[in-house]
Amino acid sequence: MRNAAISDALAKAGLVLLPSPVPAEVCPPEGARVDSCSPADGRIDEAVDLAQPDGLERFDEAWLRLATRMGLFAEDGTFLFLLGVTLDPGNEYPLWTPVRLTEHWNVSGHNAGTISGPIGGGLLTASTDGEVIISGTTWQNGTASAVGVPHPYRAEPIRRDSRRTAATTPEAEPQVNLALTEIDRIDWNSYQCGCGRSAAHVADMLRKLVSATTEAQVSRIELSNHVEIQSFPTEVAPAALSVLVAALGEGLHPAARHKIHLTLYFCLGEEEPVMVDGIPVSACEDAARQGLWQLYRDAAAGFEAAALVINRIRGERERLEHFVSRLEDPPKWVESWNFKPKDVDS
């Protein structure tokens, strides 16, 4: 019964339901965080403006181009399609479903089969050997992207998630988001925010930033004038940075990661050190230093602002130059950095 209903729905979208089993090595759908991957993970985007008259057809074409280029289809055309829970209410979690395209197919959501596509909750497809995942997402600016990641088990955001999914033994890493835990620990009311109010609303902004899953959600969060004002950190900045540094160790949307780097960068710009026993103590810089190795990881993954933050941490210049010299496959930003031995930090 279940298969008959699903098969009918898929047929309306030009997809054939296949009886073949789903191989165990395919990344579980809930862990296929393609949108969190970066170009360093091999991520490829095909963006389509949905406002053009045949925008959805163009999306179908973009998905097919990416699917063909990246090898989504098995020899007989089989690939895995994620059925939403609305189509498959018998399952608590969405499941991979082996399918094949017919002559007239549609995965953008423009179909009679309630195949939701990017315009209705997202599209997720994978190759049957688990080597390719391609998603479809809509963005706030009216575009839709087909986003592909090859060898997903090598991409850090996906590896991290699958480790979490596989963590069932008592020794496994606990399922705790350290940034959210840190937010709960801090007494935000005891700080004044840069906007003049008590900082309780900063906790809410940080929670949203850490949990954001789309670029649109990230763009709605503005830490400027709250955590820092024109590169001057505010009273609440050190507390906020301790959360942000914890967040860098968690799975984040790339736009959120970038926003965190920028906030760190601005807070370290004009920070006034406090003298303690004749030693200058900088609370924001100390917070940033807690995330040093993650900042290096992010810089290696192509986040230029992470390198800018490291460059503002006192005493880190030598290590940063050494790190840049050792990058086997340097990201683009390295070219624009003039790392010469005599280029001494001022």
Stretch in the footprint of Zn ion (CB under 5 A) among 35-43, 193-201, 249-257, 290-298: 193-201
Judged by beta carbon, residue 226 or residue 253, the one nearer Zn ion is 226
Stretch in the footprint of Zn ion (CB under 5 A) among 25-33, 92-100, 190-198, 246-254: 190-198
Residue 229 makes contact with Zn ion by CB under 5 A: no
Question: C-beta of 182: minimal distance to Zn ion in Å?
Answer: 18
Residues 252-291 that bind Zn ion (CB under 5 A): none
Judged by beta carbon, residue 74 or residue 195, the one nearer Zn ion is 195
Among residues 244, 175, 257, the alpha carbon closest in space to that of 205 is found at 244
Question: C-beta of 225: minimal distance to Zn ion in Å?
Answer: 7
Judged by beta carbon, residue 100 or residue 226, the one nearer Zn ion is 226
C-alpha pair distances (Å), 43 with each of 39, 70, 132, 204, 226: 5, 11, 10, 31, 33
- The site that binds Zn ion (CB under 5 A) totals a number of residues, namely 3
Q: Which residues contact 124 (CB under 8 A, 6 or more apart)?
A: 29, 32, 34, 81, 82, 133, 134, 135, 136
Residue 195 makes contact with Zn ion by CB under 5 A: yes
Out of 33, 43, 100, 226, the only residue in the binding site for Zn ion (CB under 5 A) is 226
Stretch in the footprint of Zn ion (CB under 5 A) among 13-21, 82-90, 188-196, 203-211: 188-196
**Binding residues for Zn ion (CB under 5 A):** 193, 195, 226
